[in-house]
Chains A and B, each alone.
Chain A
């Protein structure tokens, strides 16, 4: 279970997040919704350690943690970026195995086996030797999910998972996220799309623009 308490963040004197509190239960999906500019992405970036929160407590499974400690091998957060941020010079499989080999020091063979298994699970079998530019948007997103899952994060976070994709892929993304939930993956989804959020959410957190 992830618990975030009293999270505050301001940029240049402007308060973006003021005293945000929420919890995500294991195996659940929390969606964070709100109008653009309300600080949804900032919230996600604070939890994942890409921004430093001004104050706040982060607790995972009863243990406090510092999201900034990203180099520790017990990976807490997996992130699926809006633009996926795949590594263009690495094949699909290399994208998946790089961090397990470099960070958690798995053997190449073990990392590859796990990588292939994840690709199969996400419907990307036979794509392991392709490069990101050869994939469609939806496939890139699934590679990004597989890459994050390869590090066995406690929580998988998405930043606007529908906005870089064709609108008719929205249902597909929703099904994918629900599939992962069925497999026990705890997920946190930032989106501005209310309908999409309602479809997948166990719980919703609305972030309002402050002023």
Chain B
């Protein structure tokens, strides 16, 4: 493994990693708030809303993400709905991850004692004030470890976009490996994924620590 070769292929790997990271961050930015909103619907007393969201969660968790990607990019154009590659990937990832996040947040919401809502209610807080100031901060603490799992999964799941021809990190490594007939690019890809997951884990650990000020 010559250093020169490594330096030669690193720029293309970093370019691929850039796309991976872009998808990663945009998915989180979209899926986390959406997951919170969906979870409020999942615990809602409005039955039709709850049923629709349960169906959605079942569909998203019950079918492979790979199928969903293919469906959005290759399937929808058949009925006249066309997305750019990256947009298609983003839509599939956000919808898929929002379903997992919604389920995690639902569990968190249900673990908040009814007394918290009543305590806020008799003080005159509105439902949204209660959700924002009392419920969500407590739910966040509860769900951080589970969300962390999904975040780490997302780093690796992002590699599925190769199927719709997006140039992510894995694809960059794959191209170099088949062109130069060497294992080095794939090993480097592995190292870069490990680094990204390592950084995520570190940040999540810090966030967990930040919330450890109360029990």
Mark A residues whose CB is within 8 Å of B: 48-50, 70-73, 75, 77-79, 81, 83, 85-89, 98-99, 102-104, 131-133, 147-148, 151
Knowing A81-B118, A83-B115, A102-B129 are in contact, say whether A88-B215 is a contact too (CB < 8 A).
yes
Q: Is the interface of A mostly helix, strand, loop or mixed?
A: loop
Write out the residue numbers on chain A whose beta carbons fall within 8 Å of the beta carbon of B118: 50, 79, 81, 85
- CB of B1 closer than 8 Å to a CB of A: no
Total A-B pairs, Cβ < 8 A? 69
Set of chain B residues within 8 Å of A98, measured between Cβ atoms: 123, 125, 133
B165 at interface by CB-CB < 8 Å? no
Range of interface residues on B (Cβ < 8 Å): 20 to 34
Judged by a CB distance under 8 angstroms, whether B122 is at the interface is yes
A sample of 7 cross-chain residue pairs with beta-carbon separation below 8 angstroms, ordered by A number, consists of: A75-B124, A77-B122, A81-B119, A88-B214, A103-B123, A148-B122, A148-B123
Q: Which of B122, B125, B138 contacts A78 (CB 8 A)?
A: B122
A80 to chain B, nearest CB (A): 10
Whether A87 lies near B134 (C-beta < 8 A) is yes
Is there an interface contact between A86 and B137, defined as CB atoms closer than 8 Å?
no
- Residue among B122, B125, B213 having the largest count of chain A Cβ atoms under 10 Å: B122
- The reply to whether B141 and A87 form a contact with Cβ atoms under 8 Å apart is no
Contact in complex: B119, A50 (CB < 8 Å): no
Residues of B within 8 A of A99 (CB): 120, 123-125
Q: Looking at the complex, which one of A49, A77, A86, A102 makes contact with B119 (CB distance below 8 Å)? A: A86
Q: Closest Cβ of chain B: how far from A181's Cβ, in Å?
A: 21
Cβ-defined contact, A151 with B138, below 8 A? no
Given A49, A81, A102, which contacts B125 in the complex, CB threshold below 8 Å? A102
Known: A81-B118, A85-B118, A131-B215. 18 other contacts (CB 8 A): A50-B118, A70-B124, A71-B124, A71-B126, A72-B124, A75-B123, A77-B122, A79-B122, A86-B119, A89-B214, A98-B125, A98-B133, A99-B124, A102-B125, A102-B133, A103-B125, A131-B213, A133-B215
Minimum CB–CB distance from B118 to chain A (whole Å) comes to: 6
How long is the Cα–Cα vector from A113 to B66 in the complex, in angstroms?
58
Those 3 A-B pairs whose CB atoms lie nearest each other, nearest first: A85-B119, A99-B123, A85-B115
Question: Does B205 sit at the interface, judged by CB under 8 A?
Answer: no
Question: Which residues of chain B (50-71) have a CB below 8 Å from chain A?
Answer: none
Interface: B174 (CB within 8 A): no
Are the C-beta atoms of B115 and A147 separated by less than 8 Å? no
Given contacts A83-B115, A131-B213, contact A88 B124 (CB under 8 A): no
